[in-house]
Amino acid sequence: MPSTRDIRRRIKSVKSTAQITKAMQMVASSKMQKAQQGALNFRPFAAMASELMSHLADDTGDYRHPLMETREVRKRAVILVSTDKGLCGGLNSNLFREASKYDTASTQFIAVGRKAAQFLARTQRKLVAEFTYHDTPTYAESEAISKFAQELFLKGEADAVDLLYTRFINTLSQKPDLRGLLPMGSAENLVAEVRGQAPQKPAEHQRIDFLFEPDPATVMDRLVLYFLDFRVAQILLEAKASEHSARMVAMKNATDNADQLVKHLTLEYNKLRQSNITKELLEIASAAMSLG
């Protein structure tokens, strides 16, 4: 049975842990608000870029960019977007569970985040590149990831490139999501993915006639590259918003559990202390009676 000294030490230790988790909760909450706003603000921009791609696809006729080439998928590359740090609940575990479903023989991985690289090394899966990104993802970071994926596809080292990340739904809900990056699908499907709606072709009277200079094909050659960079940037923003939300919730739960444990230990300490006092009083009374 633990002594009162042991219980006091444990109470002190739990209180110290609670202070740490409370501080981490506040930091994550502050970062979460900025990350959430960034992810939500980027969605209309991504949808508008997809609609512009739809107009270009109509105006260019049969022309297709090399990154739109569809071929039999024999080799696949997966961009696995995780966190750099832990303490965010089951966020990474749920993501890695989905990554484990890929065939190891025909799949190569691009790790974005230290936890993804550690998982791939631990499970002995093929890792071809590793990237990191900041709390506020930059265009340069998304561009580097996008360019590497494009090179794999154009060189024939991958017939398809997927994005596996954690999609931000709300503060309490984030779930793994899979998006195709290459080859680029139809613009209508891209718009639907961004908006979370069923694909639909805009009516002719709703379409706007654009004038492209020098010509639609030249504009598409450049826009496709920017579009892929923006698509990766959107994924990084979604993943970062999910990370901070999950960490804030996890640290709040840890703080609440620590507070409950302190209450339980305090009650146990008081009971043990009262028991010791009663025992000492009985001993004093017994000694007094024996002397009398």
In tens, the pLDDT along 65-105 reads 788 888 888 999 999 999 998 889 899 999 999 999 999 89
CATH 3.40.50.300 applies to domain 4-23+249-285 = no
Could you tell me which CATH class the domain 31-246 is placed in?
A: alpha beta
Pairing of strands 76-81, 160-170: parallel
**Average pLDDT score over residue span 178-205:** 58
Residue ranges of the chain that CATH labels 3.40.1380.10: 31-246
Residue ranges of the chain that CATH labels 1.10.287.80: 4-23+249-285
Q: Which two tokens stand for residue 26?
A: 């506040």
Task: Look up the pTM and report it.
Answer: 0.80
For residues 185 and 77, what is the distance between their CA atoms, to the nearest angstrom? 16
Summarize pLDDT for 270-290 with one digit per residue, the tens: 988 888 888 888 888 887 787
For residues 215 and 65, what is the distance between their CA atoms, to the nearest angstrom? 14
For residues 191 and 184, what is the distance between their CA atoms, to the nearest angstrom? 12
**Average pLDDT score over residue span 156-181:** 91
